[in-house]
C-alpha cells in the first residue's frame, strides 16, 4: 500500500444490527487504490463486498455502522466528514454504479432530466448548458443523444446500465465504485459494458473499484484483484499473479470452480459447504470449515494478512504450501 494512493482504506470494520444480533459485514479491511487503477473486489454472498461500496460512500442502511477504521480520500478521512461535506463528495468525487439500473434510475423522469438534475446538484450553470453536457457525454459513450428524451422503461437493460454509468461519471469523479454492474445482463452486453469502463479509465484516468462475484470478470477488467471471504480480505495481488499462483485455499477453490470452457469434460470442482453465518462466524480462520488443508491452528487462531511476495498479500497460515493445479 503506497503513499500516493488516491483512496486508502485502513482497518475498516462494519457491522449491521439485525434482529438476530450483531452481524459482522466487514472485518479489519485495508486496501489502497491508486490513480487510474482498477481493482476488483471479489467475493460471494456474505463476503462483505457490497457493504464495502456503501461504507465508502457512507450510505449504509440505518442498521449499519462503521465501527472502526479510516477511509482516506485525497488526504481527508471521509469517516469524519459531516453529511453536508459528504454530499459534496458523492457523485462529484466518488460515485457509485449500482447493481440494478431499474432501481437507480427514476422511472418517472426522462433520462436527460436525470442527468441535468445530477449536474445541477453540484454545479452552477443553466439548464441548457447542463443538457448539452449530458448529450455530449452520451454520444461519447456510444449512446444516441436522442435517448435524452426517453424514459428508463423505454430502454433495454444494457442501455440503462450505460446511462447509469453516464450519471456516475458526468461530474468527472476520481473514483467510481461499480457494484456488480453487469448482473443480469447478457454475456455480450456485459462485455460491451466492461469495454466501456476500461475506456473511461484510459481516457479520463478514473479509478474503479469493481465489485463482483465473478473471478473471470475480475480478470478481464482489473489490474489487481482483492478476494474477500466472510468480511475479511484473504488475498490481494496483481491479476496474473493471482491466476498463476493463487496462495489462499479459497482463491484456489474459486478458480477451480469457474467452469472453464474446454472440450474435455471434467467434473466441476467445487468448494464444499456454505459461506458462514456472520452473526456467529467460526472461530479462528473463518474459512477453516470448508478448507481442504485446515489444521488445528486454523481452528483456533485467526491468520494475519502477510505480504508473502512483493505486492502479493495472503491471509493464511499455510499459504502457498499446496501447489495450485
Query: Smallest gap, in angstroms, from Cβ of residue 37 to another protein?
Result: 19
End-to-end CA distance of the chain: 29
The residue behind cell 479491511 is 29
Binding of another protein at residue 282 (CB under 8 A)? no
**265 makes contact with another protein (CB under 8 A):** yes
| Among 71-79, 111-119, 127-135, 208-216, the segment contacting another protein (CB under 8 A) | 208-216
Q: Binding residue for another protein (CB under 8 A) from 79, 151, 158, 299?
A: 158
Minimum distance of another protein from residue 48's CB (angstroms): 11
C-alpha span between 257 and 85 (Å, rounded): 44
Cβ distance 143 to 162 under 8 Å?
yes
Q: Is there binding between residue 77 and another protein (CB under 8 A)?
A: no
Instruction: State yes or no: residue 266 binds another protein (CB under 8 A).
Output: yes
Determine which residue in the list 274, 304, 306, 311 makes contact with another protein, applying CB under 8 A.
Answer: 274
Q: Single out the residue of 126, 188, 296, 310 in contact with another protein (rule: CB under 8 A).
A: 188
DSSP string across 215-227: HHHHHHH-SEEEE
Alpha helices in the chain (DSSP H): 49-56, 83-89, 101-104, 111-122, 127-140, 157-169, 187-204, 215-221, 239-244, 249-257, 296-300
- Contact, 73 vs 144, CB < 8 A? no
Q: Is 150 in the site for another protein (CB under 8 A)?
A: no
CB of 193 to another protein, least distance (A): 11
Closest to another protein by CB, 6 vs 159, is 159
- Of the ranges 59-67, 85-93, 100-108, 308-316, which one interacts with another protein (CB under 8 A)? 59-67
Residues whose CB is less than 8 angstroms from the CB of residue 29 and which lie 6 or more positions away in sequence, other chains included: 9, 11, 12, 13, 48, 52, 69, 228, 231, 232, 233
Cα dihedral 224, 228, 234, 235, rounded to 10, equals -10
Asked if 23 interacts with another protein (CB under 8 A), we say: yes
Residue 281 burial (CB count, 10 A): 16
Out of 190, 207, 252, 319, point to the residue binding another protein (CB under 8 A). 190
Stretch that binds another protein, among 109-117, 130-138, 185-193, 315-323 (CB under 8 A): 185-193
Distance in angstroms (rounded) separating the CA atoms of residues 207 and 173: 9
For residues 213 to 232, the per-residue mask of contacts with another protein, x marking binding by CB under 8 A and - elsewhere, is: xxxxx-xxx-----------
- Judged by the rule CB under 8 A, the positions of this chain that interact with another protein are 16, 18-21, 23, 25, 44-45, 61-64, 156-159, 186-192, 194, 213-217, 219-221, 243, 253-254, 257-263, 265-272, 274-275, 277
Amino acid at each position: 500500500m503506497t503513499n500516493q494512493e488516491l483512496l486508502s482504506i485502513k482497518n475498516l470494520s462494519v457491522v449491521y444490527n439485525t434482529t438476530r444480533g450483531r452481524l459482522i459485514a466487514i472485518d479489519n479491511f485495508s486496501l489502497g487504490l491508486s490513480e487510474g487503477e482498477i481493482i476488483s473486489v471479489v467475493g460471494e454472498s456474505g463476503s462483505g463486498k457490497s457493504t464495502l461500496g456503501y461504507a465508502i460512500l457512507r450510505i449504509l442502511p440505518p442498521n449499519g455502522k462503521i465501527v472502526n477504521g479510516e477511509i482516506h480520500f485525497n488526504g481527508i478521512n471521509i469517516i469524519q466528514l459531516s453529511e453536508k461535506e459528504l454530499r459534496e463528495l458523492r457523485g462529484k468525487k466518488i460515485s457509485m454504479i449500482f447493481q440494478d439500473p431499474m432501481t437507480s434510475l427514476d422511472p418517472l423522469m426522462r433520462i436527460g432530466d436525470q442527468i441535468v438534475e445530477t449536474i445541477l446538484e453540484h454545479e452552477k450553470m443553466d439548464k441548457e448548458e447542463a443538457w448539452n453536457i449530458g448529450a455530449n457525454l452520451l454520444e461519447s459513450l456510444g449512446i444516441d443523444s436522442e435517448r435524452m428524451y426517453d424514459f428508463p422503461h423505454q430502454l433495454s437493460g444494457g442501455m440503462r446500465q450505460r446511462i447509469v454509468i453516464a450519471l456516475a461519471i458526468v461530474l468527472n469523479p476520481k473514483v467510481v465504485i461499480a457494484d456488480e454492474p453487469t448482473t443480469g445482463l447478457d454475456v455480450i452486453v456485459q462485455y460491451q459494458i466492461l469495454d466501456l469502463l476500461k475506456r473511461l479509465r484510459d481516457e479520463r484516468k478514473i479509478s474503479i473499484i469493481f465489485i463482483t462475484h465473478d473471478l473471470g470478470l475480475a480478470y478481464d477488467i482489473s489490474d489487481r484483484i482483492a478476494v474477500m471471504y466472510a468480511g475479511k480480505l484473504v488475498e490481494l495481488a496483481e491479476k496474473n499473479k493471482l491466476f498463476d499462483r493463487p496462495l489462499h485455499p479459497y482463491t484456489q477453490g474459486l478458480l477451480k470452480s469457474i467452469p472453464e470452457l474446454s472440450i474435455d469434460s471434467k467434473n466441476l470442482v467445487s468448494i464444499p459447504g456454505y459461506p458462514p453465518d456472520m452473526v456467529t462466524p467460526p472461530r479462528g480462520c473463518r474459512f477453516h470449515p470448508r478448507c481442504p488443508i485446515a489444521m488445528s491452528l486454523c481452528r483456533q487462531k485467526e491468520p494475519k494478512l502477510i505480504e508473502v511476495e512483493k505486492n502479493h498479500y495472503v491471509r493464511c497460515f499455510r499459504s502457498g504450501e499446496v501447489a495450485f493445479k
